[in-house]
Amino acid sequence: MKQIIKPIIEEIKPAFQRSDNKQPISLASADGAITHIPACPQAMKAIARAALRKPHTTQYTLSSGSLEARRAIAIHHSVPGHPPVRLEKDVIVTDGCSGALAVSLGSLLDPGTSLLVPRPGFPLYEEITDSLGANVVEYDLDPELDWECDLGHLESIMANSSSKSKIRAMVINNPSSHGAVFSEDHLLKILDFACKHQLPIVSDEVYGDLTFGPHTFHPLANVAAKHGHNVPVITTSGISKQFLLPGWRLGWMVFHDNRWGSLEQVRTGAHKLAVLRHGVSHLQQSAIRELLVPSSSSVSAKRSVSGWKKQFRSTLERQSLVLYSYIYQCDGLDARWIPEGSMYALVGLDLDRLSDIRTDVEFCKALVREENVFCVPGSSFGAPGTIRLAFASPESTLEEAAQRIVRFCQRHVIVERDKRVVRGPHNKNKNK
């Protein structure tokens, strides 16, 4: 990914170095763009109270997390009507959701083994797997089905006996980092596949319930319980996206074993790996209870967290629609995948209609050079011919960025006119 993006970044210039004086706008990452929405205030209050009233939070705590934090996580992730998550055995607090993924995969994979990862996906899955001497096997997400897992492709992978014998687990990302949200029915089909091939699933749920409109987030562990506890699930999540606290680097992993106890050795290994990471800030962990189980604090705390989350979701959804209102019918773009959740949108490129642009990487590089707008090419995460846009910036920034993207496409689009092919209206070298 870095090799693909580095040449694009090098094209970004401050306004004073450009003849058009255009300020750079980045739609590449959501985390650094959300400066207009405050982080969940209840987290700040919890930290302040802990610092003043709980002197023990200045001390070290258990490497797998404080008991208070793990109890809150266990309550939050327990499935009603089923055996509760055990705070001491099933929960590990980690340095962000990335840390949860690292410990999860580290406890599942050995050198030479393989991991099923989605394409398009998140490059970190491959980076962690490579560091363990293991391999990734990419399975396709289907753009015609709003980026659901291509179950036919998954079955074809498992039909290869040499691949099947080495595959240890499968990763899903829901809601995904490109705006898709899986239905409960689709999650049940994924569980059918995993059960058939005896694969545990690592469910990356860092975006949690950041979903829009009719789209609902279904935690995989809840669906797995409905499925009969046939498939072991490791849930990874954190507070970075759902509560706008990425700099706190606070996440967790939760074991939801199947009815045969298939994760027993994996769980033991994960706790041993957690010891090597020396734990997460005790003070910051004191905010987890009020964020995940606010009803255990007070009615006002519960209202504060739920009200903030509702407003946050509403703001993100509105911003996504602002972006799409400009690019939805833009020639040269295929903007059919309206975001269902998270903070990102995946937009297709109609490369046959764009002159002098043959790939998504060339598109992004030229867009920076001409309009000083930075977005991520799909080739960097397994979706060539697309771009990914973060819609986390203020509406005014998104409007300006979208207008620049539209102008860029207008300059480069090839238009059919009277059976003659001409370049866009702003291109001086028209073909007649």
* pLDDT category of residue 416 using cuts at 50, 70 and 90: low
* pLDDT category of residue 299 using cuts at 50, 70 and 90: low
Give the pair of three-digit tokens for residue 310: 């509702």
Of 216, 252, 260, 211, the residue nearest 234 (C-alpha): 252
Helices in 204-257 by DSSP H: which ranges?
A: 220-226
43, 305 in Cβ contact below 8 A? no
69, 228 in Cβ contact below 8 A? no
Provide the 10 A C-beta neighbour count for residue 161. 7
Q: Is 252 exposed, middle or buried (0-12, 13-18, 19+ CB in 10 A)?
A: buried
Answer whether residue 431 shows pLDDT above 80: no
What is the H or E stretch that residue 234 is in? strand 233-238
What is the H or E stretch that residue 387 is in? strand 386-390
Answer whether residue 220 shows pLDDT above 70: yes
What is the percentage of the chain residues whose pLDDT exceeds 90?
85
Percent helix, percent strand, percent coil in the chain, to nearest 5: 45, 15, 40
Q: What per-residue confidence (pLDDT) applies to 189?
A: 98
Task: Find the range with the poorest average confidence among 2-11, 49-58, 263-272, 362-371.
Answer: 2-11
Helix axes 360-371, 395-412, angle to 10 degrees: 110
Answer whether residue 284 shows pLDDT above 50: yes
* pLDDT category of residue 418 using cuts at 50, 70 and 90: very low
Of 256, 193, 249, 202, the residue nearest 224 (C-alpha): 256
What is the C-alpha end-to-end distance of the chain, expressed in Å?
Answer: 40
The residue behind tokens 């939050």 is: 76
The residue behind tokens 């860092």 is: 206
* pLDDT category of residue 165 using cuts at 50, 70 and 90: confident
Full-model pTM? 0.92
Answer whether residue 233 shows pLDDT above 60: yes
Give the pair of three-digit tokens for residue 53: 């009233």
* pLDDT category of residue 429 using cuts at 50, 70 and 90: very low
What is the percentage of the chain residues whose pLDDT exceeds 70?
94
Q: What per-residue confidence (pLDDT) applies to 294?
A: 79
252, 215 in Cβ contact below 8 A? no
Answer whether residue 425 shows pLDDT above 70: no
Quick: pLDDT tens for 75-130.
Answer: 999 999 999 999 999 999 999 999 999 999 999 999 999 999 999 999 999 999 99
* pLDDT category of residue 186 using cuts at 50, 70 and 90: very high
Q: Where does 95-195 show beta strands of DSSP type E?
A: 114-119, 135-142, 148-149, 167-173
**Phi and psi torsions of 136, nearest 5°:** -100, 145
Dist CA 375 CA 361 (whole Å): 10
Give the pair of three-digit tokens for residue 2: 């870095």
Task: Find the range with the poorest average confidence among 32-36, 300-304, 317-321.
Answer: 300-304
The one-letter amino acid at 239: I
Give the pair of three-digit tokens for residue 276: 């090597």
Give the chain's mean pLDDT. 92
Quick: pLDDT tens for 312-365.
Answer: 999 999 999 999 999 999 999 999 999 999 999 999 999 999 988 999 999 999
Q: Where are the domains of the chain?
A: 2-34+302-422, 41-296
Of 217, 176, 220, 170, the residue nearest 196 (C-alpha): 170
What would the mean pLDDT of 175-191 be, rounded to a whole number?
A: 96
25, 375 in Cβ contact below 8 A? no
Answer whether residue 138 shows pLDDT above 80: yes
What would the mean pLDDT of 300-321 be, rounded to a whole number?
A: 91
Q: What per-residue confidence (pLDDT) applies to 161?
A: 64
What would the mean pLDDT of 246-262 be, rounded to a whole number?
A: 96
The domain 2-34+302-422 is placed in CATH, from the list 3.90.79.10, 3.20.20.70, 3.40.50.720, 3.90.1150.10, at 3.90.1150.10
Q: What per-residue confidence (pLDDT) applies to 190?
A: 98
Of 112, 147, 151, the residue nearest 132 (C-alpha): 112
What would the mean pLDDT of 202-220 be, rounded to a whole number?
A: 97
Q: Which residues pair with 373 in a beta bridge?
A: 25
42, 301 in Cβ contact below 8 A? yes
Q: How far is CA 188 from CA 212, 219, 399, in A?
A: 21, 11, 39
The residue behind tokens 């690019």 is: 327
User: Ramachandran region of residue 90, left (φ > 0), alpha (ψ -120 to 50) or beta?
Assistant: alpha
Answer whether residue 408 shows pLDDT above 80: yes
CATH of domain 41-296: 3.40.640.10
Q: Which string of DSSP letters, residue by residue, matches 3-51?
A: HHHHHHHTT---GGGSTT-PPPEE-S-STTT--SSPPPHHHHHHHHHHH
Of 389, 383, 384, 346, the residue nearest 367 (C-alpha): 389
